[in-house]
């Protein structure tokens, strides 16, 4: 799937923390464009939602580096506990989705939370989404992306280790 990152309230979307880190308010949406051999808006529990900048699963020109020069994300603070209620583990259109950013993998995990089936009151355990087709359709996550830009290593054409 293509994960689209869009600055929120530009040009008031950036915070400088003073220690080299950059904070950027953004919202994340998904579309049906296939990126990284993952088609449509299907969640991939193997690769999750990687935010690796190259190549990643993000649409071209819509990475944190493209917008803010962020090469490595330290943390993503999501606004609210979850976003839309489009999908749950079983694929039924119930519950909400809880995003979690894992720094070591530079990836966002999505967990289904909330009700299930005809019983929207009884909570289900937070479990990572499965590969249900179109599970990510209409999801919107508002967030603060905190990261840092690291200069590229000269002469190598590759990113410096960090």
Partner 1 sequence: MAVINITTSAVLDANGRPFTAQFDCGTKVAKVKLTIPTSSTYSTTDRCALIHSGTNADFGRLYGTRFIRQVLFDSMFGWAGGGAGVLKGIWIASLQKLLLYTNGNTGVAILNEQELTNATALGVTVITAEARVFYN
Which listed residue (6, 32, 75, 79) binds partner 1 by CB under 8 A?
A: 79
How many beta carbons lie within 10 A of that of residue 141, not counting itself? 23
Chain Cα centroid distance, residue 46: 15
Distance between CA 31 and CA 139 in Å, rounded? Answer: 10
Q: Which of 121, 156, 157, 161 binds partner 1 (CB under 8 A)?
A: 121
Nearer to partner 1, 11 or 151 (CB): 11
Q: Residue 96 interacts with partner 1 (CB under 8 A)? A: yes
Bridge pairing between strands 49-50 and 72-78? unpaired
Which residue from 60, 138, 153, 160 is in contact with partner 1, where contact means CB under 8 A? 138
Residues 38/47, Cβ–Cβ less than 8 Å: yes
Q: Per rule CB under 8 A, is residue 133 in the interface with partner 1? A: no
Residue whose CB is less far from partner 1, 60 or 138: 138
């Amino acid at each position: 799937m293509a994960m689209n990152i869009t600055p929120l309230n530009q040009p008031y979307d950036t915070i400088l923390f003073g220690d080299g880190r950059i904070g950027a308010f953004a919202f994340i949406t998904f579309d049906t464009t296939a990126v990284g051999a993952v088609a449509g808006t299907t969640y991939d529990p193997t690769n999750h939602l990687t935010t690796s900048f190259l190549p990643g699963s993000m649409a071209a020109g819509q990475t944190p580096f493209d917008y803010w020069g962020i090469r490595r994300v330290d943390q993503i603070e999501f606004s609210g506990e979850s976003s839309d209620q489009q999908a749950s583990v079983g694929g039924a259109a119930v519950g909400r989705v809880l995003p979690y950013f894992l720094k070591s993998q530079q990836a966002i995990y999505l967990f289904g939370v909330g009700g299930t089936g005809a019983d929207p009151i009884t909570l289900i355990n937070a479990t990572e989404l499965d590969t249900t087709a179109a599970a990510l359709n209409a999801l919107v996550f508002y967030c603060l992306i905190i990261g840092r830009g690291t200069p590229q290593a000269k002469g190598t054409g590759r990113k410096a280790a960090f």
